[in-house]
Structure 1
């Protein structure tokens, strides 16, 4: 019997395991793949967003800003790579200035520290290789970049050192609940009992939720994106994360 079963060994599952391992509890992390940290954690932009474009007052906006600040503590605790690049949301012409001011107000409402609108001259000084016709930018000093795989592995190493267990090739195929305990079936054959389940299953989280509740009010529809990787010879061409205005 386990105190906690965490489903999924991506960056979220690993960081939760790390925090729980600070307490006297029995933790098991289940991963359906043959290795840990093998899903969305290794296929994303690695940007720690400031939260400027999120609707004020929403849980997502609050957690984005709070989570951004927590990475400064993680950098010290886990010795993870953390590039404090800052971010710039650029306005291409005068018509876009009103939208830039709108998202500035939104950023202020979300509690983002140090945010400001900079003019064309200041923008050119910060990023001289940007197109000279850009008229202004929203300066987001709290935007950061990290290496998500390394963050997850450092957190998982911490958790394992504190006694957490990891089980790979362990696909959750059923969950039942009886007498105040969850029973988790793995690979249609093995059952493990636990007091608590924390689902960190990424794009498969809705499948896990349906094992507990027949009707859930959402469905996850994954989307595939593309990235352009630049030649190493242009390394250092830009110093910030550069965003267009959100549409």
Structure 2
């Protein structure tokens, strides 16, 4: 087997196994549960019918189109819930937590840059706040998405990866299925995550809303 060059070694390091990354992501996403949760009845929660079907085969869900190598993401758009927001890279801080986007900007999402870029083969992850002290934030409406809705991620080279939603679920923080959410399926996939579930002033949100989506087009 030929040895890998420096570029391939750097790529391998950036795309670390989800078995390791899932642990720090679960810790980091606790930062996303600290919204105010004080707006009317709270953010919408996923309907049972929106849950991803783990029994569906890849053929039933649809395969990926021919892809390309994507640059770092620059913007995320979700037309069904009027999201059009810039994306900044987020990583792991000195304490081993995944950084969240700054909460003071309600219209900002974060791409976990130690995973794949959206559109590349593997599971990319985009996170964002559901609210802040001023009101609803970028992913406030995430729980209302339905199967068949689309998430568009534009990269810095002007290309857009279009993902079709095939599941939307809320998971309790103490029973979060890291392997199911983060593991690679062998296709180009995207997870969009914010806080959700119940809320209390002492502990914040008790879960996370997760959107499961698969690459359906490139433009």
> TM-score scaled to structure 1, two decimals?
0.20
Structure number with greater Rg is 1
Bigger helix fraction: 1
Higher RCO, Cα 8 Å, sep 6+: 1
> TM-score scaled to structure 2, two decimals?
0.22
